[in-house]
Amino acid sequence: MKRVRFPEGAKIPAVAVLIMIAALLPQVLNQYWIAVCVSVGLGALLSLSLNVILGQAGIFNMGHAAFYAVGAYVTAVLNTRLQIPVLWLLPAAGAAAGLCALLVARPIIHLRGDYLLIVTIGIVEIVRIALINDVGGLTGGANGIFGIARPEIFGVRIRRDIQFYYLIWGAVGLTVLLFSRLNRSRVGRALSCIKEDDIAAEGCGIDVARCKLLAFVLGASWAGMAGTLFAARMTIISPGSFTFWDSVLLFAAVILGGGSQAGVILGAFLVFGLPEIFRDFASARMLIFGLALMVMMVIRPQGILPPGSRRYDTGFLSRRERAAGDGRT
Amino acid sequence: MIPLLSLENVTKSFGGLIAVNDVSFRVEEGGIVGIIGPNGAGKTTVFNLVTGNYAPDNGDILFRGTSLVGRKPHEIVSLGVARTFQSIRLFPSLPVLENVLAGRHCRMNAGLIASMFHSPAQRREERAAVERAVRELEFVGLTDFLEDRAGNLSYGNRRLLEIARALASDPALIILDEPAGSMNQPETAVLVRLVRAVRDRGITVMLIEHDMGLVMQVCEKLIVLEYGVKIADGPPDAVRSDPRVIEAYLGQDD
């Protein structure tokens, strides 16, 4: 009988090894590669947040950079004008991005995938153009905002890339932990059902519109918080960092990765890290990237690492059967 | 006493076609009610009106005195009306157990934050939901397939799984749309026993079925539709001898 399962049991050593490698990596890398790893970390954070929307709920969102921008700009404006410490602004950035997502998605969340895709493309363009047009005199137009303060944790000022490496990959780790718990819950299950067949989901009692909205707002507010980390690292932000193209790359990272968290992080490495490795072939980079995506879609359309199934502790069944002295298998 | 379900002059048309025309009937608590009628008589439309997939053009649908008109399907499920689909609609790539847990969703409360942090209340609720889902699978006899994907089940077992999923939502009324469709003889026998066992749990069963043998065997009351109009209702024996019914439906077989 294979019913008794220990959830996550076998995964623990593998995760521990990965954390060790991630912790020791900056000690062997040079400045340049640490900087690349920091960018990949931000990409991974954003891809994980998009994964809740796209991978788990199946909502086609190609405007994710819009929420990243909202978080980054809220952080930049509040920090430069009111001198609020950057990391304290994480909740504000998350809330602002989440609120924007709520307002925007509420009327369109019931739309079919392709229509939704077009609307989200519209959103990211609207946000970018609004930032360039210096809405409310707050965003600094095309030049953006300068002089965002460095973050401080327990009195340590985070300045060097190696420090950002630990900050951002720590955030990635926390995100993986929280989102994998979310996945193994009522909400995560509901999203899987909706992605599979939304009419059946509604018909068996799942509030489809509410769950989709929940996923959209959560993913967006997470992207907003990633925006805070981005603003803190760059100290200068401008509309050029939040284009439609950035949204497409995030979309590609999630689709390429296949929807599991490990897959999505791998996808972020491929999309944001690989181009750096092939910098010598700069002119052919996009060609290779596009080709790789096409090949991928043909030979493995489900992505590199599609999500596995959730585990449930049904051990009580065999205990009960033993107690009843029932020999059925 | 307020009936469990009552339709009052319900009309629904699609373009020029009147699928359900001024239909009224009542379903009392307890028992097994069958809706029969020739193809295209509007049986599935009636079900879709009750479950909120369609809104009636006219008339009212009351469940325990509360109007269901204008409510979304998921709200109607939480009020206590569960359904199965004519063309089975499971979540084929998800495990059997999760399909049943999906039916339990509307009776669970854990929100986003509790789900992300796995709060003690969330863990308790989750454990109870899994136990309940397993009990429903025991009830329909699918415990051996807990971890299989729903899409890998045999046709008959998929029907049973849909019933287990509906039962997990604690319904007072369960609506089965052609539960014996494409089932073989032994599978149908299992289904008959199951439908009776569901009734014995105090859950009212409403079903559409083409297999007249099965309908006459299990149903305690029949409602007969033809061209969207109700032409008869009552106990099977009375309906069987109703001349309009014989002409419209049964007469064609003999």
Query: Pairing between strand B229-234 and B221-226?
Result: antiparallel
- Which pLDDT score is estimated for A2? 40
Q: Which residue of B has its CA nearest to A195?
A: B91
Report d(CA B160, CA B88) in Å as an integer. 10
B100 and B224 in a common domain = no
- Which pLDDT score is estimated for B193? 92
> How many domains, in total, are found in chain B?
2
B183 and B140 in a common domain = no
Q: Which residue of A has its CA nearest to B167?
A: A204
Report d(CA A170, CA A149) in Å as an integer. 20
Report d(CA A118, CA B249) in Å as an integer. 50
Report d(CA A158, CA A113) in Å as an integer. 41
B74 and B22 in a common domain = yes
Q: Is residue B229 part of a domain?
A: yes
Identity (one letter) of the amino acid at B165? Answer: R
B31 and B140 in a common domain = no
Residue where one domain finishes, among candidates B163, B179, B209: B163
Q: Who contacts B252 (Cβ-Cβ below 8 Å, separation ≥6)? A: B38
Q: In the predicted model, is pLDDT for residue A127 greater than 60? A: yes
B56 and B178 in a common domain = yes
Q: Which residue of B has its CA nearest to A213?
A: B112
- Average pLDDT over chain B, rounded to whole? 90
B194 and B134 in a common domain = no
**To 5 degrees, how large is the angle CA A185–CA A224–CA A259?**
45
B137 and B236 in a common domain = no
Q: Who contacts B193 (Cβ-Cβ below 8 Å, separation ≥6)? A: none
Q: In the predicted model, is pLDDT for residue A3 greater than 50? A: no
Residue where one domain finishes, among candidates B131, B163, B195: B163
DSSP state letters, B120-137 = HHHHHHHHHHHHHHHHHH
Contact B96, B137 (CB under 8 A): yes
Closest CA to A165 of A33, A18, A67, A51: A33
Per-residue b or e along A106-119, where b marks 16 or more CB atoms closer than 10 Å to that residue's CB: eebbeeeeeebbeb
Q: Who contacts A244 (Cβ-Cβ below 8 Å, separation ≥6)? A: A62, A63, A65, A121, A124, A125, A128
pLDDT tens for each residue of A19-62: 888 888 888 888 888 999 999 999 999 999 999 999 999 999 99
CA distance A73 to chain B (A): 26
Residue where one domain finishes, among candidates B163, B184, B204: B163
Q: Alpha-carbon dihedral of residues B130, B136, B142, B147, nearest 10 degrees? A: -10
Q: What architecture is domain A31-323?
A: Orthogonal Bundle (1.10)
Q: Is residue B207 part of a domain?
A: yes
pLDDT greater at residue A326 or residue B26: B26
Size of interface A-B (CB pairs under 8 A): 118
Share of chain A above pLDDT 70, in %: 92
Least confident of A78-92, A234-248, A270-284, B205-219: A270-284
Do B98 and A310 count as a contact with CB atoms less than 8 A apart?
Answer: yes
- Which pLDDT score is estimated for A313? 77
In this prediction, residue A183 has a pLDDT band, given cuts at 50, 70 and 90, of very high
Do B85 and A200 count as a contact with CB atoms less than 8 A apart?
Answer: yes
Q: Who contacts B118 (Cβ-Cβ below 8 Å, separation ≥6)? A: A181, A184, A185
Q: In the predicted model, is pLDDT for residue A275 greater than 60? A: yes
- Phi first, then psi, for residue B141 (nearest 5°) are 85, 35
Q: In the predicted model, is pLDDT for residue A11 greater than 80? A: no
Q: Is residue B198 part of a domain?
A: yes
B208 and B247 in a common domain = yes
Q: Is residue B85 part of a domain?
A: no
Say which DSSP state B150 is in.
G
Identity (one letter) of the amino acid at A99? Answer: L
B154 and B34 in a common domain = no
Q: Which residues span the domain enclosing B10? A: 5-80+171-253
Q: Who contacts A269 (Cβ-Cβ below 8 Å, separation ≥6)? A: A40, A44
- Average pLDDT over chain A, rounded to whole? 87
In this prediction, residue A292 has a pLDDT band, given cuts at 50, 70 and 90, of confident
Per-residue b or e along A255-282, where b marks 16 or more CB atoms closer than 10 Å to that residue's CB: bbbbbbbbbbbbbbbbbbbebeeeeeee
Report d(CA B143, CA B137) in Å as an integer. 5
Contact A198, A110 (CB under 8 A): no
Do A203 and B77 count as a contact with CB atoms less than 8 A apart?
Answer: yes
- Which pLDDT score is estimated for B249? 65
The H or E element containing residue B206 is strand B204-208
B242 and B175 in a common domain = yes
B176 and B71 in a common domain = yes
Cα-trace Rg, chain B: 19
- Residues in chain B with CB shorter than 8 Å from the CB of A209 are 72
What are A287's two structure tokens?
């060609």
B243 and B141 in a common domain = no
Q: In the predicted model, is pLDDT for residue A328 greater than 60? A: no
pLDDT in tens, chain B (254 residues): 788 999 999 999 998 889 999 999 999 998 999 998 888 888 999 999 999 999 999 999 999 999 999 999 999 999 999 999 988 899 999 999 999 999 999 999 998 999 999 999 999 999 999 999 999 999 999 999 988 899 999 988 999 999 999 999 999 999 999 988 888 888 889 999 999 999 999 999 999 988 788 888 899 999 999 888 898 888 988 888 888 888 876 555 44
In this prediction, residue A327 has a pLDDT band, given cuts at 50, 70 and 90, of very low
HSE toward the beta carbon, residue A155, CA cutoff 13 A: 0
Contact A79, A72 (CB under 8 A): no
Q: Alpha-carbon dihedral of residues B21, B26, B32, B35, nearest 10 degrees? A: -10
CATH code for position B42? 3.40.50.300
- Which pLDDT score is estimated for A5? 46
CA distance B177 to chain A (A): 13
